[in-house]
């Protein structure tokens, strides 16, 4: 996948998840979530802007940071209770 195509895919995914969040939770919760996401640390990785979430996994590596695209942050129920795929 080319870089431009990957960026377009990421942008469409972000637009879809943000719209779905707004539909399900309303404008007030969407504004709150946008502020929470904006407060997350940003990491640049291979030209992509990723947000850093804290995995609350209780075993193995224990709590650790995970860098995800912004659209993942919009698809979560709570940002504080994120669990990475390795701890599910």
Percent above pLDDT 70 for the chain:
95
Long-range contacts of the stretch 32-35 (C-beta < 8 A, 24+): 33/73, 33/74, 33/79
| Residues 58-76: tens digit of each pLDDT | 777 678 899 999 999 999 9
DSSP letter at 65 equals: E
In the chain, the N- to C-terminal Cα span, in Å, equals 29
Structure tokens at 77: 């129920």
Residues facing 65 on adjacent strands:
54
pTM here?
A: 0.83
Under a CB-based contact definition with an 8 Å cutoff, are residues 74 and 21 in contact? yes
| Residues 36-52: tens digit of each pLDDT | 999 999 999 988 899 99
């Amino acid at each position: 996948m080319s870089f431009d195509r990957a960026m377009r895919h990421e942008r469409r995914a972000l637009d879809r998840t943000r719209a779905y969040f707004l539909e399900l939770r309303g404008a007030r919760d969407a504004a709150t979530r946008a502020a929470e996401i904006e407060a997350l640390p940003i990491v640049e990785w291979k030209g992509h802007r990723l947000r850093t979430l804290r995995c609350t996994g209780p075993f193995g590596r224990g709590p650790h940071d995970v860098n995800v695209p912004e659209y993942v942050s919009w698809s979560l129920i709570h940002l504080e209770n994120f669990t990475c795929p390795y701890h599910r």
